[in-house]
Structure 1
Amino acid sequence: MIKKITLTLLFFTSAFIYGQTTISNFETGEPGVDALAGGIVASVETNPVMSGLNTSANSLRVSRSDTGWWGFVNVDVTPDIAIAAAPNDVKFLSMLVNFPAQPDLGVRFSAAAGDNGTNDMIIRGFNKYDASAANTWQEIVFEIRTSKTGTHTFTTETLFKLVIHPDQGYENSPSGQVLDATTFGYIDNIRILDTNPLENTWLGGTSSDWSTASNWSKGAIPISTDFVEIPTGTTFTPVISNTTGASIQNLTVATGVNVTVENGGSLLISGTAPEVTGSIIYKRTLTADADPSKAWHLVTSPLAGVSIINFMAANTLASGTTNTNFRGVGNYVNDGSGFNYYSSNYSGSDAFNVGKGFAIKNAAAGDVEFSGFFRKGDKHFSISQGTDNFNLVGNAFLAYMNLGTFFTNNNATDRLSEATIWLWDPSANSGNGGYVTKMAGTDAAFEVAPGQAFFVSAGPVASNVVSFSEANQSHQIDTFLKKNSTRTEIELKITQGGLINNTKLYYIEGTSTGFDNGFDGSLFTGTVSDLSIYTELVADNNGKKIAVQSLPNSDYESMIIPIGVKATKGKEITISSSTLNLPKEISVFLEDRENNTFTDLTQSDFSVVLEEDLDGSGRFFLRTSSQVLSTNSSELKDISIYQSNNNLKIIGLQQEDGSISIFNILGKQIMLNKFETSNTLNVGLSSLATGIYIVRLQTAKGTLNKKIIIE
């Protein structure tokens, strides 16, 4: 242990042999507490955890008897220490801290003689106490500032007293005071250092591997408290590999070099100051296909400063087939035009703004590179309603983003029209690609990879934004599209020619037969598809097209599910099913009301050559039953009546005679339509005034009444 008398000699000589000066270890004969205030209670006690970073016998125990945020402990500095003006004499204060939760810890330097330092600024550490490792010793480091002006350029001053605020309660997470009369924190091993002990400098003499310990000045791979510096002049520059999740406090990259993060790797920078500087390269691995409609990827840049011009110059993107000047990068506009692609001679200022998604197609399988700069803090990206409400956004960070937390952070009223995202999977549907629907209630554990873009549907709120929280970052193994093995599911797949599409049903306790936000996900309709299959709601059907519908996991036989299909006439369609965890006694039946047939999809596929184009619902229904089903139904319970624009739409009709009557609120019949049809019927409502009406459907099977409101 370096004694205080030795410290004085060290500070007043031109060389610092050891580079550190101990203020107090709170051992016998060392300086202790000379003042307390604000309800702070402090005493020297036995070290509660004599292992890891701290094996000394004693430490300073702190608690509180009051709630004053400014409560402090004065620790004497004996003898006094002279510190010259920065940058000539920049020094650091290090202390070991052991708390049951993350405290808001601050210090003040050079309190005026005889007072408690109330005129001095409070300095918080470069790093914060890691609450995930609570009740262990952790090193917290502060930059020493003795000036009362709050600047880094100060005159020579004398450090004779250290004021420690152990529990302010503002800048911790969760915020609030940690200590009370029976909850203790511990402080020990207070030192002054010539260099920041958190610094870990890249040596790069062994390889480019970030995870090789010998590549670092500490002889150890950087950890979450390290300030990492990448200098010039090294043999190799660092690469964070596809299996590495790097967590550091801060990053400084010298001009002319960079850090590379490979596809699958992640980088989490948690510090608050100083600002991250220097160039980073992020790589995203893409497939490729000569077919211009295949191997597209939805991608975002987690880095700032990436222009479209520079991105096209740095990467070999696919060229258009009809217009060879077009390149495989496009942004989505919800004005009805969909994806808009950039040409090779583009000279504008568009950029991969952090949080904005793009469609990208590579000329050959391999990586695309984004070269830019890390920007700390939460990200907010503007979204809007248009011809459609879809907006292409993306994970704004170099680490994984939890989907459940994303929805929680964006649950403000009317921000999103539903708690759903749509990801594009280029490998789906036998390489044709397809949208994957993920929802808050069913997919909260899903992790969105760095560089992954996805669609959201904007709500009507003015000045709408989607937010990406810096706190919502983690390291993960890529979990894209992993299936939940315990949920009961039915997947319906439709094929026609070389095209494939699918829709899913989940059976989950607590869900309803109506729309459950976060458990039901709409069909993505932002782009045109020649083949699609979807469901509509079992109850309160309003024509909404559902890509994934969640239903109760009981009473299977009572639910009749409308199936919507878009397909082309003159070609055969095939509908098949696959199930997961469905009760053994339950079979899946597809009803075709045009041909009056039931097909047990658990035994065979359904196939038919279409005599006319299909684009809607009313012909097909899905039923789950333990019995062989018959077409001799005498009920109307599976008929849906709802408004669609200026029409009244009735779906699920059998081929039979019937009538539709409309009555006003006084009971007067104002419209009567007789029909002989099947599947779907549309009745115009444009001639009706605003008001409440009763619709009566009558067929040989019975009568069904429905109230409608025309606004």
Structure 2
Amino acid sequence: MGVTNTGLSATEIAAIQTAVAAASPAPTDAAALQLIVDAAVTELAAETAAVLAAVTSAGNGTLTEAELTAAGVTNTGLSVAEIAAIQTAVAAASPAPTDAAALQLIVDAAVTELAAETAAVLAAVTSAGNGTLTEAELTTAGVTNTGLSATEIAASPAPTDAAALQLIVDAAVTELAAETTAVLAAVTSAGNGTLTEAELTAAGVTNTGLSVAEIAAIQTAVAAASPAPTDAAALQLIVDAAVSSMPITWNGTSNDWNDVSNWSTNTVPLATSNIVIPTGLTHYPTTSSALTVKSLTVESGASFIPQATVTGPVTFKRNLPAGNWHLVSSPVADATYEGIIANNTLAIGTGGNIGIGVYSNATGLPWDYATSAKTGTMPLGLGISIKLANIGDFSVTGIANISDVNQPITLGARTNFNLVGNPFMAYVNSKDFGLANRDLITEQTIWVWEGSEYVTYNATTPIEISPGQGFFVEAVADGDIIFAKSNQSHQASDTFKRESPRQSFELFVENEASKKSTKVFYIANKTTGFDNGYDSKMFGGVKASKLEVFTELITENKGNKLAIQSLPSTNMEAMVVPVGITAEAGKEVTFSVNAKNLPEGINIYLEDRVANTFTNISNKGYKVVLENAAKGTGQFYIHTTSKDLENVTIEQNLQDVSIYKSANNSVTITGLQSENASLNVYSMLGEKVISKQFKVTGVRVIELPKMAKGVYIVEVISNSKKITKKIILE
């Protein structure tokens, strides 16, 4: 007809129709009709300001439900978001509606639009079109009310965009929040605030078989609801939410993850489960297929061997006493220093330092202490030192490691020791670790800090290295040591030491301040020289203690201070073991021994070549005041024999004497009893290059003149007896 006011609402058209019907005579052409339309629209436009003033608060442009009701709008129970959507629609109307009837149309249109937004969101935010919304899908859709139960999520019809979905979410949460006091009165005992399973059942709650702890957790959730739910349906939502968030605990009837009897709920955990693996069990889980978890926590003393990907955060805990430093490592990948600092209460030192120390074998001090500003990822296989402010668990969170781990070790300017650590949530055998890395480390030995001293472990005393345990190795060259995933096991408890019942003795020396020891084992097929994996020197990565005791090799002695020495199990009575100590002059020290499984009738004698005495220390200690500071061998020797050496004169056998190059221009001689001795050094052509007379009891260092590189023969003569040894000058 040529009428140009398009986009008219039903109300506007109805008003125009009324105006047309009221016109007399009725308009007969488009031009006349246009005048009627314009007049009607103009009349509507003129009615604008009054309604906006009437239904907004103090002219602030914000509609409230009370204002809508006062204006005659009948859609009550609108959420803040719905009212905001209506306000947007009102503002968009041109011209704006001027009365309640027109405004009602806008309200109806806005609400209808929300109700009509159905299929798209179901396709966009449901899993494989199965009509089930998940919390993750809500979050992806931009919905901010997380932690919703399945009942809350199941709105129908589903809205088609995040904004509309948010309105439904808000409505569901608001409905729960509004259900307040009745349930608390109906399902608690005598108003004492304690829910029982019977009361839950009576209230229509279907989650039966709840434990006391679970009911207590539900009660906490109910009490925390503000306002609390008022009927069984609402309470059921709280129960469901509380139960879904409760941890599922490993029972350990077997190692099979998929065995329902291994779980506290008698069901295999889901991807939404919070899982706890506790300590003190006989069996721990090993998995061969991929897992997804909401969270997984491995408690101190427990273990877990994943052989396939685990999706979800994994937290490992290790109980550490307060007041001491402990060597630790991360048994999970992607752990960060900032996470360690945030999740542990670390000791505070001077200058802003905290209880994290990183070891360095370069020049300078061995420990670099961190501050609270330290960031970055902690590499798998690296060891660090940790000191907690209070006794408790050291906690680290990351991703489960399922692969072999290669950790770099280096030669250093100060030492060649490197601090590494178990990168798995299960135990690693120290002997197998040493064998796997024998080409990269000087000896198949690890050194572990045990609260007050470094303890040496090798194949004579292999241990199961605990998850998260740090330890030292000594590099023979730069390279990557390997932690093989195949070298993992579960253990019944947090067992560090596992000694075999071998023939052995442990020699102790103590003063008023401390006590130290060294071990000697007698093992078939071992030698009096160096046996890799069975002879181990003391830890030398930090400053030495003021009191030390050690032994040296009977043959092939290079001056290494041994914490563990292994000797043949045969011919025990013919072997004399050099004993060295480090101690201050003028201080009394006491020697004692603890023997295990030695042959019947064998006693252990300590020979003091300065005092010229033998003491059977199998049954009593030997006390001595050192006239001079002790820093090596030469004064003390151990004899294992069935003879009574306290009443027998022993003629020295020069095979007990050790000769070795102690520096490139010196030779050390230990074990001589006679004061008078001589030394001759010959080239390989038989030319005598040095001859020297000297007096010694114990240790003597002979300085050599400057000589060409090569092999030389050292000859020592004492009491008409002679011993020779080859040395190499480099």
Report the TM-score when normalising by structure 1: 0.64
By how many angstroms is 1:203 displaced? 7.0
Partners in 2 of 1:579 and 1:204 — Cα distance?
58
What does residue range 127-526 of structure 1 map to in structure 2 within 5 Å?
208-211=248-251, 219-221=260-262, 229-231=270-272, 237-244=274-281, 245-250=284-289, 252-253=291-292, 257-271=294-308, 275-289=309-323, 295-320=324-349, 323=350, 325-337=352-364, 339-345=366-372, 347-386=373-412, 387-411=414-438, 414-426=439-451, 433-440=452-459, 442-443=460-461, 446-460=463-477, 462=478, 464-478=479-493, 480-482=495-497, 484=499, 486-526=501-541
> Which residue matches 1:43?
none
* CA displacement at 1:242 relative to structure 2: 1.0
2:595 to 556, 573, 579: 579
Which SS does the other structure have where 1:238 is aligned? strand
The superposition leaves residues 544-591 of structure 1 with CA deviations (integer Å, 9 ceiling, x where unpaired) of 121111111121111111111111223211111000001121111111
Question: Which residue number corresponds to residue 637 of structure 1?
Answer: 655
Q: Is 1:669 the equivalent of 2:688?
A: yes
Q: By how many angstroms is 1:470 displaced?
A: 1.6
One-letter amino acid of the counterpart of residue 383, structure 1: I
Pick closer, same or farther for the CA change 1:368–1:381 going to 2, 3 Å.
Answer: same
Q: What secondary structure is seen at the aligned counterpart in 1 of 2:656? A: coil
Asked if the contact 2:464/2:498 (under 8 Å) is kept, the reply is: no
Write out per-residue CA displacement over residues 458-510 of structure 1, whole angstroms, 9 at most, x where no aligned residue: 122x5x11111122222112363545353111001111222111110011111
- Name the counterpart of 2:554: 538
The Cα of 1:253 is off from its aligned counterpart by 4.8
Aligned to 1:654: 673
Report which structure shows greater RCO (CA 8 Å, sep ≥6).
1
What are structure 2's unaligned runs of at least 5 residues? 1-126, 131-241
State the Cα distance separating 1:649 from its structure 2 match.
Answer: 0.7
One-letter identity of the residue aligned with 2:638:
L
1:588 to 600, 604, 607: 604
Residue type of the alignment partner of 1:515: F
User: 1:524: how far off?
Assistant: 1.0
Cα deviation, residue 628, structure 1 = 2.1
Residue 337 (structure 1) shift: 4.1
1: CA distance between counterparts of 2:461 and 2:258? Answer: 42
- Structure 2 match to 1:600: 616
Instruction: Report if the CA contact (8 A) 1:520-1:550 is conserved.
Output: yes
Number of corresponding residues: 482
Deviation at 1:312, TM superposition (A): 2.0
Residue 49 of structure 2 corresponds to none
Can you list the C-alpha shifts for 1:508-558, whole angstroms capped at 9, x where unaligned?
A: 111111111111112111112222111110111111121111111121111
Distance in 1, matches of 2:705 and 2:351, equals 48
Counterpart amino acid of 2:334? G
1:55-66 to structure 2, matched below 5 A, reads none
Q: What SS does the corresponding residue of 1:591 show, helix, strand or coil?
A: strand
Q: Which amino acid aligns with 2:688?
A: Q
User: In 1, distance between residues paired with 2:682 and 2:369?
Assistant: 55
Q: Which runs of 5+ in 1 are unaligned?
A: 1-86, 91-201, 290-294, 427-432
Separation in structure 2 between the aligned mates of residue 397 and residue 204 of structure 1, nearest angstrom: 29
Name the SS of the counterpart of 1:310 in structure 2.
helix
Question: Quick one: distance in 2 between partners of 1:478 and 1:395?
Answer: 17
Equivalent position amino acid for 1:643 in 2 = K
Does the 8 A contact of 1:634 with 1:701 survive in 2? no
One-letter code aligned to 1:608: V
Counterpart check, 1:562 vs 2:578: yes
- C-alpha distance after superposition, 1:607-640 (max 9, x if no partner): 1122222111111111111112245424312111
Inter-CA distance 471–482: structure 2 relative to 1 (3 Å threshold): closer
Change (3 A) 1:250 1:228: farther
Aligned to 1:95: none
> How do 1:100-111 residues align onto structure 2 when only pairs under 5 Å count?
none
Secondary structure of 1:404's aligned partner: helix
Partner AA of 1:459 in structure 2: V
Offset of residue 89 of structure 1: 9.8
**SS of structure 2 residue aligned to 1:266:** coil
Task: Tell me if structure 2 keeps the 8 A contact 1:301–1:451.
Answer: yes
> Offset of 1:406 from its aligned partner?
2.2
The answer to whether the Cα contact below 8 Å between 1:228 and 1:250 also exists between their aligned partners in 2 is no
Q: Is the 8 Å Cα contact of residues 522 and 544 (structure 1) preserved in structure 2?
A: yes
Give 1:313 deviation, angstroms. Answer: 2.6
Q: Distance in 2 between matches of 1:88 and 1:208?
A: 28
- Secondary structure of 2:525's partner? coil
8 Å CA contact 2:401–2:423 kept in 1: the answer is no
Q: Which AA in structure 1 matches 2:475?
A: A
Tell me how far 1:251 sits from its aligned partner: 5.5
Q: 1:513 to 1:603 in 2, by over 3 A?
A: same
Larger radius of gyration: 2
- Tell me which moved more, 324-333 or 449-458: 324-333
In structure 2, distance between residues paired with 1:468 and 1:545? 28
Query: Would you say the 8 A contact 2:328–2:385 is kept in 1?
Result: yes
Question: CA 1:494–1:300 in structure 2 vs 1: closer, same or farther (change >3 Å)?
Answer: same
Contact in 1 for aligned 2:679/2:715 (Cα 8 Å): yes
Aligned to 1:100: none
Aligned partners of 1:684, 1:531: CA distance in 2, in Å? 27
TM-score, reference length from structure 2: 0.62
Residues 653 and 270 of structure 1, relative CA distance in 2, 3 Å threshold: same
Distance 1:308 1:497, change over 3 A: farther
Q: Secondary structure at the match of 1:637?
A: helix
Give SS of 1:507's match.
Answer: strand
Are the equivalent residues in 2 in contact too, given 1:649–1:683 (CA < 8 A)?
yes
Task: Note if contact 2:306-2:400 (Cα within 8 Å) is conserved in structure 1.
Answer: no
CA-to-aligned-CA distance 1:282-326 (integer Å, 9 cap, x gap): 11101123xxxxx32111110122222331232112233xx2632
Change (3 A) 1:228 1:402: farther
Contact 1:227/1:251, CA 8 A, preserved across alignment: no
Q: Deviations over 1:42-63 (max 9, x none)?
A: xxxxxxxxxxxxxxxxxxxxxx
| Matching residue within 599, 607, 612 for 2:628 | 612
Q: Which amino acid aligns with 2:384?
A: F
